[in-house]
Structure 1
Amino acid sequence: MSSFTDYKIFLCSRTTLSLYYLLLTYNNNLIFYTTMFFILFYRFATSKGYWTDLYVQYFVRQVGERKAPEINRGKSDCLNISPCWLMFAAAFNQMLYCFKCAVGYYGRVKGMNLLIDAFLKKTQCDCQVVNLGAGLDTTFWRLKDENIMPKKFFEVDFPMIVARKIHNIKTKPPLSKPLIETHSTDALLLDGHSLDSDRYCIIGADLRDLPTLEEKLKKFQINPELPTLFLSECVLVYMTPEQSSKLVHWVADAFPTAMFINYEQVNMNDRFGEIMIENLQRRQCNLAGVDLCQSLDSQKERFLSAGWESANALDMMTVYNMLPQEDVARIECLEFLDEKELLQQLLQHYCICWAVKDKLNLGLSQIGF
């Protein structure tokens, strides 16, 4: 079978998980579908009220939302991919959504935003942000609304994902308007795999190809002398340890004042972690960089051995307990949580690690929870 469209699978409860496994089996599409899976879940969680995001609706239609007749016939103006994906989306809504995952995503979003905002405050927004493997992330638009934008916000991802995002930006005025408002000329510089404005730039590139990545960032006027925040969320784990180490080493060498925030798996050497890995491997989804996800210490050592001055790491259970507890209590009332122990295990197997270099002595090492 040459593509997902070759499959004529009708949705029923017995085929839901099989369809999910089928999607993950196709390595050429794995990263795209992983991106879409995340943004779909993200959209669903915002609709439940876990957090607010005014822009995710322009990247993916709400699961369960009533579709126009042409959508029901297999034509999608929001995803522009096969009918198989739409069935997967519905299946996701019916069987794969769970409260534990929503709480985990809540901790991830709130934890990352807390550190991002602290960096912007510390640098007084006289800085850059580079989101590595950004997917369909909406952080730029949030920062624009909150009036805490950096001098320039860069996003990097595989060309096929970047092309999807550029299409959404071009066709959705609420996404394009903030770019135009912050741009000094009438026209944005764009092609199929890049879009550049004064304050926002998205680049199609493979993070494993450092020479090309560096060339493209320079082409779009990244300034190594500015304090620069690098973000990655479940990105480095898909690279080999050698590849991710080269990436964080390059950042440390090229940007004398910088912070790197990495969200991904941790404690993968215990039984719960082993089961997570085995489940992914059965779906042909191999975590090439899992060896660096053995502990909080191994996460920190990745950065310290690459030339970063300091590194900190916390598992997501700890982060969750350090978030404003009034809001935590609010989201815990949204839906019934039946297995608190499983939630705790899940949160203990993800972490946020952040590392700094501070040539300008801005006090970046003071940033934390």
Structure 2
Amino acid sequence: MAARKPFADSDTADEAVRATCDDATICKRFASSKGYWKDPYIQYFVRSVGERKAPEINRGYYARVHGVNHLLDAFIRKTECHCQIINLGAGLDTTFWRLKDINLMPRKFFEVDFPTVVARKIHNIKLPTLLLSECVLVYMTCLQSSNLVHWAAETFHTAMFISYEQVNMSDRFSQVMVENLQRRHCTLAGLEACQSLDSQKERFLKTGWEHADALDMMTIYNMLPQDDVARIERLEFLDEKELLQQLLQHYSICWATKDKLNLGLSQLAF
């Protein structure tokens, strides 16, 4: 029985990570139902709106969705749709249908996740490629995530990698975040790369990517179209704005590019 324990622990850890997919989808379902953004497809993955989420959580997801979509759409437009997207740890994400609705579909769209979530596999294709990763790399060791982004840099000569995950993970707020996840059997094995915006960028610059930028979500939130930000802030009263600021300062978007075709990918920014 002792020999089986590591496998049991691994199964528990995998199940805990899979559960975060449901958590994210439920949060996005609630926020979209409140009017933070439109997503007519997420209802097919989460039937019920579920229990009320705190305003800072809704605004955090608003910043996450709009921040990632801004860079993703800019990449596709820069390549004039002659590209492919690889969504790592895609979960129940609805990006494919959103892009289809706005007539911004890439040539290829791949989703990668646990076999129980997505059964699709990636093949080695070398059109301009966008790789998308939202809270995925942090569950790998730094060596594993570095190997992954190095593989991507070696495999795709004209590409962009967008990564959304934790940052500034060395204070009390981040310690509480880690402890809460550990209680759910989620271990953030890649925290070392999440210590700062510089450490996020270095993971890419040291593994073959030509250019990398990173911004925390508070900065991105303040850079979003302020008329729309004002609209969503009227949806719910937020008593403790400091809590939102703390939350957003502990997440970031990092994006890295390689541009053999000289499309100007390094110029894509907020």
Shorter-chain TM-score bucket reads: over 0.9
Q: TM-score, normalised by structure 1?
A: 0.69
Q: Secondary structure at the match of 1:311?
A: strand
Shift of 1:242: 0.7
RMSD over aligned Cα atoms: 1.3
Q: Distance in 1 between matches of 2:209 and 2:148?
A: 12
Q: Distance in 1 between matches of 2:90 and 2:203?
A: 21
Could you tell me which of 39, 52, 62 is aligned with 2:38? 52
Q: TM-score, normalised by structure 2?
A: 0.93
Identity within the alignment, %: 68
Contact between 1:32 and 1:160, CA under 8 Å: does it hold in 2?
no
Shift of 1:258: 0.5
Match of 1:339 in 2: 240
Q: Secondary structure at the match of 2:90?
A: coil
**For residue 223 of structure 1, what is the amino acid of its counterpart?**
I
Structure 2 runs not aligned, ≥5 long: 1-10
Q: Distance in 1 between matches of 2:77 and 2:266?
A: 13
Q: Distance in 1 between matches of 2:155 and 2:49?
A: 42
Q: Distance in 1 between matches of 2:185 and 2:73?
A: 36
Check if 1:139 corresponds to 2:95: yes
Q: Distance in 1 between matches of 2:267 and 2:143?
A: 29
Q: Distance in 2 between matches of 1:358 and 1:302?
A: 18
Instruction: Return closer, same or farther for 1:100/1:34 CA change in 2, 3 Å cut-off.
Output: same
Equivalences for residues 291-310 of structure 1 within 5 A: 291-310=192-211
Shift of 1:28: 4.5
Shift of 1:367: 0.2
Could you tell me which of 112, 119, 122 is aligned with 1:217? 122
**For residue 151 of structure 1, what is the amino acid of its counterpart?**
R
Q: Distance in 2 between matches of 1:350 and 1:160?
A: 27
Q: Secondary structure at the match of 1:217?
A: coil
Contact between 1:130 and 1:155, CA under 8 Å: does it hold in 2?
yes
Q: Distance in 2 between matches of 1:329 and 1:244?
A: 37
Larger radius of gyration: 1
Q: Distance in 2 between matches of 1:278 and 1:254?
A: 37
Higher relative contact order (CA 8 A, sep 6+): 2
Check if 1:227 corresponds to 2:128: yes
Structure 1 runs not aligned, ≥5 long: 1-24, 65-92, 163-192, 194-202, 204-215
After TM superposition, the structure 1 stretch with the greater mean CA deviation from structure 2, 266-275 or 102-111, is: 266-275
Match of 1:356 in 2: 257
Q: Distance in 1 between matches of 2:77 and 2:230?
A: 27
Equivalences for residues 89-168 of structure 1 within 5 A: 93=51, 97-162=53-118
Check if 1:280 corresponds to 2:192: no
Moved over 6 A (4+): none
Q: Deviations over 1:201-234 (max 9, x none)?
A: xx2xxxxxxxxxxxx422xxx521x110000000
